[in-house]
Chain A
């Protein structure tokens, strides 16, 4: 494996300076945070450069962190370089009240449905997406179910006080 995480990190730092933060390596995969208006620039840079060649989008999803005020939603990209067999992950954070993120569909055709799924469950508004409509849930749904404010069981139930077995209490 010729391409090291250290090298990728240096190349990114060269290009973007210190706006990319939180570099860490867990379970062998490097991850970092990027500012939300740079998500496409970072992806395009990783795609184009001849020594990086991250040309496969493995996964795109979102995570809701209600405690991070002002940047509650994180969109997570997993990229893969097939030639050197290196994976990396990066996150962009956005405000839940204005969850606008540029779409990656111009770089990866596969981002189309992945972004629709992310929109469907988290309400991330992918700016420039060709067809941003719900995909797995019904069209009439007016909320985004994977957000943490929707607990799985009805918390107002009073007939089943069962703290011992993990039910009841907060999510």
Chain B
């Protein structure tokens, strides 16, 4: 027998003390398309290299060919767990560029929708942390109530996940009485559910031991890594765009910014839970404010940018002209350059827009919070167990659609 029949191993493979683990891209525990090539010493992670871009769809490039109103559906597909926040962020960016002043009622209705979206996003994230620590019950329980919010979206804009809600200048149609009833129903039922959800987890010994100290980051490192949103606040920095640069009349509302201290998975969980209570309070305040305002205002009076009523299109000349110009993307857009941040559910979502006066943006860049903070992941999980790396990943609230744009 010749020696060629033996298996030849690559150089250094016998001496190598660690093993390589390819986690993902479609591992069921990673909730999205995330690949990590991990170097493992037993069950400890020595190093990890994240690979991203599996669902990159070139939104920034596509946006350079689209009229402004057609970019809204692209923003849906960034953070699809809270699509309305992206939609409204985009509308507000364009409104800022065009100098459109929206009526207070529109601002408050937007606040209601954005805070509902924040609740659903945090709900998913926190309940998934539970799933990854072995507690499936909480997840199934709260899904029912996410469903209630989706029914509210459905009532307002007709769709559920990728909402394309609202238009530049306001909403496409007024909120129906049924929509308000559904919001009231949610406001009435949800606090008990959230309380129960917290009872399941917050002081649960198993949950605490699984999450405390896992994936911790200091405030300085978090800032240096560009963390924003609940992840930054869990590390103790009280930065929230809603307070720092109020948009959509957030300055009219009373709410507090919950902060953590250690920046670990447990604190991120607590910060999100506390934010859900704050969001509920904001929605209640907004509902009160909306009641005091005239009922029929749901968009700004900007006929050149806001699609006219269909009846008017068929009967009035101006409406027909505006309708045609808007749909064809022939409206005049002012040249300008701006950066508009909004507080997305997982951090600062920024729209950097350059318009040269053409029908579509000259350049549009999305500052996607989770793309920016995911690069800290190798540092967060270094030396941790594999199971901790999984739970740390879900606590960061990474959304593959947003990460890969």
Contact = CB atoms under 8 A, between A and B. Distances in A.
B405 A57 contact: no
B339 A55 contact: no
A31 B405 CA distance: 26
Query: For chain A, which range describes its interface: under 10, 10 to 19, 20 to 34, or 35 or more residues?
Result: 35 or more
Nearest to B359: A166
A51 interface: no
A78 interface: yes
A42 interface: no
Given A56-B223, A59-B350, A59-B352, A27 B237 contact: no
A27 B96 contact: yes
Interface stretch (A10-18, A33-41, A110-118): A110-118
Nearest 10 pairs of A and B residues by beta carbon: A110-B226, A136-B53, A136-B56, A152-B65, A113-B375, A61-B365, A27-B338, A59-B367, A109-B224, A63-B363
A29 B62 contact: no
Query: For chain B, which range describes its interface: under 10, 10 to 19, 20 to 34, or 35 or more residues?
Result: 35 or more
Interface string B217-257: 00001011110000000000101000011000000000000
Contact of A58 (B62, B328, B350, B354): B350
Given A29-B338, A58-B341, A85-B244, A109 B225 contact: yes
A50 interface: no
B172 interface: no
A24 B58 CA distance: 31
Contacts of B336: 26-27
Contacts of A137: 53, 56
Interface string B289-306: 000000000000000000
Interface of B: 52-53, 56, 58, 60-62, 64-65, 67, 96, 221, 223-226, 237, 239, 244-245, 328-329, 336-339, 341, 348, 350, 352, 354, 359, 362-363, 365, 367, 371-376, 404-405
A57 B337 contact: no
A29 B245 CA distance: 12
B60 A146 contact: yes
A76 interface: yes
Interface string A123-152: 000000000001111100000011000101
Interface string A77-90: 01000100101010
Contacts of A108: 224, 226
Contacts of B245: 85, 87
Nearest to A82: B239
A134 B404 CA distance: 13
A130 to B, nearest CB: 12
A166 B338 CA distance: 25
Contacts of A109: 221, 224-226, 375-376
Contacts of B329: 166
B241 to A, nearest CB: 10
A76 to B, nearest CB: 7
Contacts of A82: 223, 237, 239, 244
A112 to B, nearest CB: 6
Given A59-B339, A109-B224, A78 B350 contact: yes
Contacts of B64: 152, 171
A152 B61 contact: yes
A57 B226 contact: yes
A55 B60 CA distance: 27
A117 to B, nearest CB: 8
A110 B328 contact: no
A78 B375 contact: no
A76 B224 contact: no
Contact of B226 (A56, A87, A89, A117): A56
A104 B21 CA distance: 31
Interface in A40-54: none
10 contacts: A58-B350, A109-B221, A110-B225, A110-B373, A113-B371, A114-B372, A134-B53, A135-B52, A145-B58, A166-B359
Given A29-B339, A166-B328, A136 B404 contact: yes
A116 to B, nearest CB: 9
B325 to A, nearest CB: 12
Nearest to B227: A110
Contacts of A121: 60
B344 to A, nearest CB: 13
Contacts of A152: 61-62, 64-65
Contacts of B372: 110, 113-114
Contacts of B58: 145
